[in-house]
Amino acid sequence: MRDVSEALRAFRAEAAILSDLAAAADLLSWDQDTYMPPGAAAGRGEQEATLHALRHGRLTDPAYTGLLDELEASGLDPAGSDHAMVRVARRTASRAGRMPRRLVEELARRTASARVAWAKARSEDRFDLFAPELAAVLELKREEADAVGGGGQRYDALLDEYEPGATAASLAAVFEPLKEEQVALLAAIAGSGVQLSDEMLRRAYPVDAQRRVCEATAASFGYDFRRGRLDVTAHPFAIGIGADDVRITTRYDERFLNPALFGTMHEAGHAMYEQGFAPEFHRTPLAHGASLGIHESQSRLWENLIGRSLPYWEGAFPALRAAFPEALGGEDVESLYAAVNRVESSLIRVEADEVSYNLHILVRFELELALLNGDLAVKDLPAAWNDLYRSYLGITPPSDALGCLQDIHWAVGLVGYFPTYALGNLVSAQLFAAARGALPELDADVRSGDFATLLGWLRSNVHRHGSRYLPAELIRRATGSELDSRHYVDYLKGKYGALYGLA
């Protein structure tokens, strides 16, 4: 057996190549969702299939897996980052080793075409244009689940890629009582007799001015534009193409300020997480978030716990009013705070208020579980979607474009991804409570537009660790306790109880 230091050098060299291949694929994906001409979809699918196949081949190469065997037997310090790096690498290689190369290539090609079909179906409000592609993607995802799951529950096999250690049963145990709390709070608000208006947010907001505000907002939070950029897409996202290239996107609506402004806050939260990974983890398996739930906690923390807070707007409103004098010239900060926190059952997940947001996620969680298991036929998805929206939110989508076609996730094969959004909400509140306890001047800092202290706390307790720790351990280290949904429920009841005059 070679010297441990020599084995580690060989491992890091191969890990860097694997990281570069993933980054190249991510760059192609970013381009497809921003600037690529639609006619290039087929060729792009082949390009992505090639990169994914090359990476899959290296992940499953006996020389690489043998190197992992060597390092696992070498007695690395279990508390050290090298041990964590090998653990994460083994997890990825083992999953890849159970995936036939043919399936990897087919998924890349199919999701490339499904993405285009979804965009066309959404723009024309025709689910029938997307249904065959969705059925094909689901069949491939079932095959993937059977390959990597070792005979267990299909949904658990897919979920584990995004949220290590989670299962459909464990999620249901958290989500069912949470659903009851949020449905009850939504009903209490509806029955409060208090009406908050967001009319001021639905005036004329020129796109050029929105872009300048969005860029300034992201930069003020700490998003580094020297290592990133802001572009336009149909469905906003953040993507890390390397340690010094983490890009965000948004979408603009000239008659509604929220999508661009809060979408940018959200994606900046994701991007700042990736910009904060420890430099020594770059181009290694640890240069990733601990899980998508942890990732989402960062976006929701900046979007909601900061971006929809009163201290934030007490400091930020004068600049916003100056940017949009015609729309906001006669308004005050209290009215804006009420407007951005207006609660109303709505159709669009990314525009949902905090009280109802998780209910949008639970609809998707239940439906994708049924679709994957074959309990729900693809052709029946629109009706099932509408039924759950009536049941949980009391509204019915008037079209599929505003219903089951609004998200891109299933088109790109992200089955099992949606629950991480709800987990992110829970973690965001718990992390923010811990930060508030450690930073007694936090509200004053936010009010003055100084986010460096909060970002520093997040860098130290969350960002720099990358995927060194499993999600549960990271939460314990950062907050001193296990994941507890009570923090989120208490936050919602306290904030919205005050806004809506609830006891």
**For this structure, is 267 an active site residue?**
yes
The dihedral of CA 369, 372, 375, 376: what is its sign?
positive
SS3 242: strand
Q: What is the number of other CB atoms lying within 10 angstroms of the CB of residue 57?
A: 14
CA distances from 157 to 108, 167, 289, 415, 439 (A): 19, 8, 19, 10, 39
Cβ–Cβ < 8 Å for 483, 178: no
Burial of 158 (0-12, 13-18, 19+ CB in 10 A): buried
Beta partners for 238?
248
240: nearest Cα among 254, 255, 229, 250: 229
Helices (H) and strands (E) in the chain, counts: 21, 3
Beta partners for 360?
none
Cβ–Cβ < 8 Å for 88, 291: no
Q: Tokens 């993937």 appear where?
A: 144
Strands, sheet with 230-232, edge to edge from the N-terminal-most edge strand? 230-232, 245-250, 238-242
Among candidate residues 267, 303, 354, 368, the one labeled active-site is 267
Q: How many residues does the chain have?
A: 503
In angstroms, the CA 449 to CA 301 distance is 16
Cβ–Cβ < 8 Å for 158, 415: yes
Angle at 58 between CA 54 and CA 61, to 5 degrees: 135
Pairing of strands 230-232, 245-250: parallel
Please give the torsion angle defined by the CA atoms of residues 402, 338, 492 and 218, in that order, rounded to the nearest 10 degrees: 70
Q: Rounded to the nearest 5°, which phi and psi values hold at 250?
A: -150, 180
In angstroms, the CA 243 to CA 238 distance is 13
In angstroms, the CA 426 to CA 351 distance is 18
In angstroms, the CA 34 to CA 236 distance is 10
Q: Which residues are catalytic?
A: 267
